[in-house]
Structure formats: structure tokens, C-alpha cells
């Protein structure tokens, strides 16, 4: 795993979209537009595309990863995919605990904790998604939920192995929604996440961990999120599906950094 500096990481999450041909076409057009090394662009592609897109991304700033994996090393788990398979295919990171996995496939924190351990043991960077539901937010439990998710998902993992963890704060009510959180709402929770991480791990490592915001990010609101002191990057669903909208999120940052 190459070390990352806490900086701006924009991750596209394609979910169950794009055929092999569509994905390669997108990636071939994306790569020449990634000119600013200050912005790291990650793309979580479908399993079927990992191998060829990682080959395409060799020697470029683009980092290819997966959207999920199983915690077991191998075995009779029909339809699942193992960390070693992802690693060999070229995945450098894996999204774990996405709210869609938690909701549709009933994944719990204990399962996600085992997946994180497996990913780390295979040198695949975990992107741990956490976030509260609308009901939890409205009952004033956001902080408690976030704290519990971080503590359970990161339980019994040595702190020094977690420096390269990425945490994605994705309020469940903001994912795939019409309106996401405001930058101020997100900043408040990101700061609280960092406090919690410094309690679970230590202050030094908590300062290094990239905390991304995800939930209805687009080119109009991306800059405002990234201005917040504890928002180190973005996890982008729908707006990463069109080359133009993804580039519009990435390139304002490039322009800023070049001035
Ligand atoms: C996501 O898939 O993690 C996500 C945040 O989706 P969207 O940007 O479409 O809300």
C-alpha cells in the first residue's frame, strides 16, 4: 500500500453501473485530464472491470478499487469475492460498509470489522463508510451512532495499521438523495469523527486519516465541502457516472491548486 498524505482524495463509486466497454472508454478519457498531483482520484469500479482498468491506470494518478469484498480468504461463498482476487486484479482500495450494503444485504459492524482486517492483511486500503439514518439524526443520536460504528468497525485492529484507512462519512439520508448535508453539518461530524479516532487509535494517527464526505455531492457543492478543515475528500456516486460531471468536480480543485 503506498502511503497517502492527508489531502484531497476524490473517489467515484460507480455502484452497479457500466459495462466493461463503457468503463474503459470512460477511463481512457478521464486519465489525460488528471493533471494535478495535489488531487488523488480513486475510482471504485464493478468487479468485472478492475483488471483492465487497473492496467489502464498503471503509471497514471488514477487509483482503481473495488466496492465490496468478503472477509473470508476463500471457500464456499457463492457469488462473493476474496481480497486476494481483488489484489491480483489490481484493486488498491475497497469500499466497506457502504450504507447500501448495510441496508440491502444486512451487513453489520462485526462483519465489516472482519473485512477491514482482511483487507489490511492483503495490503488493500479500506474505505470505511459510516453514517446515521434520518431517524437517528432526528432523534439527536448522530454522534452516538458514528462513535459506535467507528469503535465496532475498528475494534481490535492495531492503530499503526490504520494510518492508511479512509473513513467516508455518508449520512444515509444524504446518499442518492435530492439534497445532501450542508458543508457545516458535515464538518461538525467530521471533527467529531477525528476526536473519536484519536480516542480509539491515537491523536497522531487520527490526524493522518483521510475523512471523506459523501452524499449528493456535485460540481456545485463540492468546493464548499472541501473548504471545511476536516473534510479531506469526497465520495461521489451519481456525479461520477458522467465524465463531464466527474471532471467538473475534480478540475476546479486542479485550477485552484495551480494558481
Ligand atoms: C455513494 O454512492 O456513496 C453516494 C454518496 O452516492 P450519491 O453521490 O449519488 O449520493
Q: What is the pLDDT of residues 30-69, one digit of tens each?
A: 999 998 777 899 999 999 999 999 999 999 999 999 999 9
pTM of the model: 0.94
Q: Ligand 1 in contact with 172 (CB < 6 A)?
A: no
Confidence tier at 99 by pLDDT (50, 70, 90) = very high
Residue 259 has pLDDT above 90, yes or no: no
Atom of ligand 1 nearest to the CA of 175: 10
Mean pLDDT of the 125-141 span: 98
Q: Ligand 1 in contact with 11 (CB < 6 A)?
A: no
CA of 235 to the centre of ligand 1 (A): 7
Phi-psi region of 58 (alpha: psi -120 to 50; beta: other; left: phi over 0): beta
pLDDT tens-digit readout, 81-97: 999 999 999 999 999 99
96-128 burial string, b = 16+ CB within 10 Å, else e? bbbbbbbeeeebebebbbebbbbbbebebbbbb
Contacts of 19 (CB under 8 A, 6+ apart): none
Amino acid at each position: 500500500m503506498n502511503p497517502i498524505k492527508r489531502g484531497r482524495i476524490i473517489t467515484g463509486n460507480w455502484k452497479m453501473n457500466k459495462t466493461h466497454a463503457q468503463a474503459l472508454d470512460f477511463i481512457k478519457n478521464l486519465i489525460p485530464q488528471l493533471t494535478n498531483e495535489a488531487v488523488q482520484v480513486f475510482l471504485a469500479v464493478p468487479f468485472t472491470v478492475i483488471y483492465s482498468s487497473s492496467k489502464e491506470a498503471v503509471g497514471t494518478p488514477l487509483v482503481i478499487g473495488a466496492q465490496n469484498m468478503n472477509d473470508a480468504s476463500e471457500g464456499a461463498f457463492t457469488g462473493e469475492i476474496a481480497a486476494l482476487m481483488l489484489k491480483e486484479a489490481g484493486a488498491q482500495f475497497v469500499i466497506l460498509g457502504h450504507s447500501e450494503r448495510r441496508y440491502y444485504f444486512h451487513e453489520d459492524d462485526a462483519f465489516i470489522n472482519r473485512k477491514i482486517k482482511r483487507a489490511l492483511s492483503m495490503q488493500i486500503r479500506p474505505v470505511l463508510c459510516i453514517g446515521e439514518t434520518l431517524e437517528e439524526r432526528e432523534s439527536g443520536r448522530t454522534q452516538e451512532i458514528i462513535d459506535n460504528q467507528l469503535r465496532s468497525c475498528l475494534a481490535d485492529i492495531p492503530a499503526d495499521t490504520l494510518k492508511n484507512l479512509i473513513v467516508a462519512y455518508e449520512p444515509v439520508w444524504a446518499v442518492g438523495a435530492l439534497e445532501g448535508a450542508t458543508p457545516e453539518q458535515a464538518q461538525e461530524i467530521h471533527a467529531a469523527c477525528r476526536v473519536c479516532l484519536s480516542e480509539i487509535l491515537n491523536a497522531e494517527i487520527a490526524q493522518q486519516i483521510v475523512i471523506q464526505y459523501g452524499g449528493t455531492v456535485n460540481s456545485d457543492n463540492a468546493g464548499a465541502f472541501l473548504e471545511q478543515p476536516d473534510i479531506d475528500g469526497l465520495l461521489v456516486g451519481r456525479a461520477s457516472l458522467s465524465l463531464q460531471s466527474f471532471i467538473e468536480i475534480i478540475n476546479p480543485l486542479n485550477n485552484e491548486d495551480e494558481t
